[in-house]
Chains A and B, each alone.
Chain A
Amino acid sequence: MNPTRKRRLIVVLLVVAAAAVAVGLGVFALQQNMNYLFTPSQVQTGEASSHKTFRLGGMVKAGSIQRSKSSLLVTFTVVDADGAMPVEYTGILPDLFRDNQSVIATGHMDNAHFVATEVLAKHDETYMPKELKDAMAKAHKGKPVPEGGDMGGSP
């Protein structure tokens, strides 16, 4: 093998190795940080049981917001058409958080209730996030859902 070819081979091998490392890291990081969205009824049918951390989406049940007297602990119930899930959160809620508002909470299950580490409500109060609308529409049909939505969706 002449020197030019040898050098090229080394370069190619290095590039391949670097690409492999990059792809490996990327896949690893992606897997660690993918959060699935479920509605209360999906959680109750056990769909979320294989996920430690996930996002819970739905509407805040009217009158369910309870503040603790001494700390920032707040509990509320997130509902969809045929499910309800009590949520516990410690901290400051977003500006648009209120009764009947669509919210997405990130967190994990602790026995029968959901412990949220982050609660998001949309800036535009008339607007429900598309993914949440889809998820709720799907849960409403009550059919056994595979892993995901049947959404072609707009581009």
Chain B
Amino acid sequence: MTPELGQIALILALLLALAQSILPIIGAWRNNSAMMAVARPAAFGQGFFVVLAFVLLVWAFLRFDFSVQYVADNSNLALPWYYRITAVWGAHEGSMLLWIFILNVWTLALALFSRQLPEAFAARVLGVLGIISVGFIAFILFTSDPFGRLLPMPPDGGDLNPVLQDPGMTFHPPVIYMGYVGFSVAFAFSIAALLGGELEQAWVRWARPWTNIAWAFLTCGIVAGSWWAYAELGWGGWWFWDPVENASFMPWLVGTALIHAQAVTEKRGSLRAWTILLSIFAFSLSLLGTFLVRSGVLTSVHSFASDPRRGLFILCFLIFVVGGSLLLYALRAPKVAGGKPFAVVSRESAILVGNLMFTVAAAMVLLGTLFPLIGDALNLGKISVGPPYFGLLFPLLMLPIVLLLPFGPYLRWGKGEPQVLKRVMLRALLAAVACAVVAAFFVDGKLKAIAGVAAAVWVAVGVLLYIVKRWREMPRGRRYPAEMAGMLFAHAGVAIFLIGVLLSESLSATSDVRMAPGDTKQIGGYDFRFDGVHETQGPNWRADQGTVMVTRNGEPVAVMHPQKRTYTREQIQTESAIDPGVTRDLYVALGEPMDKEHIDGAWALRLYYKPFIRWLWFGGLMMMLGGFVSAGDRRFRVRRPANADAPEPVGAALLSETRA
């Protein structure tokens, strides 16, 4: 009975979403308060039913309801309860339900915290979110029903894909969806602003905290995904330029451009149309990303089976959202354009250059990711684009950003002073060169590692000098408002990230070796001794577990236990063993038994020494923290009368404060 309840809940949610999308937008157009007032109750109602449907699916998993096809496909009696909960989003149907669940979390948050917004504006924002919701719930109901029955009911189910049975996977999809879906809020604000025309200029300030939070979640999700790929896929890499990774990375790139462009628009009124365009792109790429991951149109290391009906629906929905919003943009953007002029040397210019690079990088990734589809359509053959394409172009595009990033804050809005900049840059340059020279002795002259140290020091010194400058020049309590503190955190995170990426990429040592028990192999100064393999057992798997003793100069460092697991349905999964450290990770993965008869017990082993790799995730988490801290700025929470259509430059009073 409960699965049918879930279906009914979704249908009711669809009806309420229709009400939430149509009535308030018409109401805002016709200035009809009664119709606009429908938005919040409809949003609450829709939220209730979507949450109910989601809970019912979780419930079906928890009580092994194998009469539900989706449950039977993705879980079994031996699967532990925590993986039965995560199995809810382990395949296509459930992840779509998770998507709509999270959209409703955002919508509810917005409905609760938008009371200070002008009535018509809030109605439009909620209306746009309602439209997105209609599209997704319809998609679930018509093509991807998670509550479909399976009769006769099987005694036991299939299995959750073993790669997904990992702690990282328990929170990676929800977090990354928080990011994807969060951009729908920025999108809704932009569309509402376009619909409202020139009346509303303050909307960017209202949109900023939401965009920052979404961006922070997406950052966190990408970091978690990268960590998962490193720990779980058994290849020791942290980024593969795989279509699925690119799918989450493109919205991140555009989102990063967006949060900076929003700052310009809010403080100076310039780049308004560009900000709107970016939020349309960010959300469109999020939609594209969601679908690329689950629809299986692209061959990827972790894509799943596809269904052409879904593809068609998705394509129509994408065309509707992207086409519709761009059409609206073309019609209305000229009305919202404006703002103050700025000189070539100014904070606006610096941000604009960064924006340009991020956007071009996103376009580059998009081209590389979709090229196989384009090639297919143009009869060019079955093509895939290799990682070196991204590996060559991406660093080139990011170089100007890394060079500019630490110095943006020194530049004033409107017109900056080149002399101040020169002084700071000179110091950063000296520090970077000095550190690079010192580092060169430690890294055997590897250029990439030296460049990494230099770039990281360049960024870090720039950020530190700015922190000192604020400390000296501003009175206590006004030194680091949350918005600025967030920016400093994120920029410092970039420095840490650079260290992690460039040092681990250039100094890693790896070896695939055949080892019999007792064999020793030295990598990166560590001795790995293989002590054989024995059988072990888990809740729903059995495994060959290896033992590897690691020593350094005779001192024991770690005992590592890599596994080769066989799950209930004979799926084989490598569980690597990782000995983490601040300056290095040791990583061991079991390959395969080299002699089937087990005479000498030799196995293929993959051994890694990965220096500083943890820094890149830590840097990513710093960026995430920056996003959250910025969003908490008191300025964004200031209540203002609902009918004041602030014609004066927004945040003018705070300009002097943010000026250094």
A residues whose Cβ falls under 8 Å from a Cβ of B: 22, 25-26, 29-30, 32-38, 55, 67, 70-72, 90-93, 95-96, 104, 120, 123-127, 129-132, 134-135, 146-155
Contacts and interface: CB of A to CB of B under 8 A. Distances in A.
A133 B174 CA distance: 32
A55 B595 CA distance: 29
Residue of B234, B299, B379 with most partner-chain A CB within 10 A: B299
B119 to A, nearest CB: 40
Closest 6 CB pairs of A and B: A148-B381, A37-B382, A92-B591, A154-B308, A33-B386, A33-B389
Nearest to B589: A92
Given A148-B376, A148-B380, A32 B606 contact: no
Given A26-B364, A130-B296, A95 B604 contact: no
Interface residues of B, number: 55
Interface in B379-436: 379-389, 392-393, 396
Contacts of A33: 385-389
Interface stretch (B310-318, B495-503, B612-620): B310-318
A93 B512 contact: no
A26 B393 contact: yes
Contact of A123 (B301, B371, B372, B375): B301
B646 interface: no
Contacts of B371: 30, 34
Contacts of A135: 382
Nearest to B304: A124
Interface in B100-154: none
B332 interface: no
Contacts of A29: 388-389, 392-393
Contacts of A30: 367-368, 371, 385, 389
A71 B515 CA distance: 9
Given A26-B364, A35-B386, A72-B513, A150 B379 contact: yes
Contacts of B315: 155
A92 B573 contact: no
Nearest to B564: A95
B381 A22 contact: no
Contact of A125 (B377, B386, B387, B571): B571
Contacts of B592: 92-93
Nearest to A152: B377
Interface string B143-176: 0000000000000000001010000000000000
Contacts of B297: 130, 154-155
Contacts of B364: 26
B542 interface: no
A131 B297 CA distance: 9
Given A55-B384, A95-B234, A146-B379, 7 more contacts: A34-B375, A70-B514, A72-B604, A131-B372, A148-B375, A149-B379, A149-B381
B32 interface: no
B250 to A, nearest CB: 15
Contact of A151 (B301, B376, B388): B376
B304 to A, nearest CB: 6
Contacts of B62: none
Interface residues of chain B: helix, strand, loop or mixed (majority): mixed
B592 to A, nearest CB: 7
A40 to B, nearest CB: 14
B308 to A, nearest CB: 4
Contact of A130 (B299, B381, B389, B572): B299
Given A92-B606, A95-B573, A72 B386 contact: no
Contacts of A67: 594-595
Nearest to B605: A92
14 contacts: A26-B393, A67-B595, A92-B606, A93-B592, A95-B572, A96-B572, A124-B304, A135-B382, A147-B379, A148-B375, A148-B380, A149-B382, A153-B376, A154-B306
Contact of A92 (B308, B595, B604): B604
A146 B301 CA distance: 28
A130 B512 contact: no
B299 to A, nearest CB: 4
B530 to A, nearest CB: 14
Contacts of B595: 67
A37 B311 contact: no
B376 A155 contact: no
Nearest to B396: A25
B572 A155 contact: no
A22 B360 contact: yes
B63 interface: no
Nearest to A92: B591
A131 B163 contact: no
Nearest to B302: A123
B382 A148 contact: yes
Contacts of A90: 512
A126 B306 CA distance: 12
B381 A92 contact: no
A143 B604 CA distance: 42
Nearest to B164: A123
B574 interface: yes
A127 B305 contact: yes
B232 to A, nearest CB: 11
B169 to A, nearest CB: 13
Contact of B393 (A25, A148, A154): A25
A36 B161 contact: no
A147 to B, nearest CB: 5
B337 to A, nearest CB: 17
Contacts of B314: 155
Contacts of B574: 95
Contacts of B572: 95-96
Given A33-B385, A34-B385, A120-B301, A71 B380 contact: no
Residue of A90, A91, A104, A124 with most partner-chain B CB within 10 A: A124
Interface in B348-387: 360, 364, 367-368, 371-373, 375-377, 379-387
B73 to A, nearest CB: 11
Contacts of B163: 123
A80 B225 CA distance: 35
A26 B366 CA distance: 12
Contacts of A32: 388-389, 392
A127 B299 contact: no
A47 to B, nearest CB: 9
A153 B379 CA distance: 11
Contacts of A25: 392-393, 396
Contacts of B367: 26, 30
A35 B381 contact: no
A72 B602 CA distance: 11
A33 B385 CA distance: 6
A91 B379 contact: no
Nearest to B364: A26
B392 A134 contact: no
Interface in B247-300: 296-297, 299
A100 to B, nearest CB: 14
B562 to A, nearest CB: 12
A131 B591 CA distance: 28
B161 A123 contact: yes
B376 A37 contact: no
A67 B514 CA distance: 11
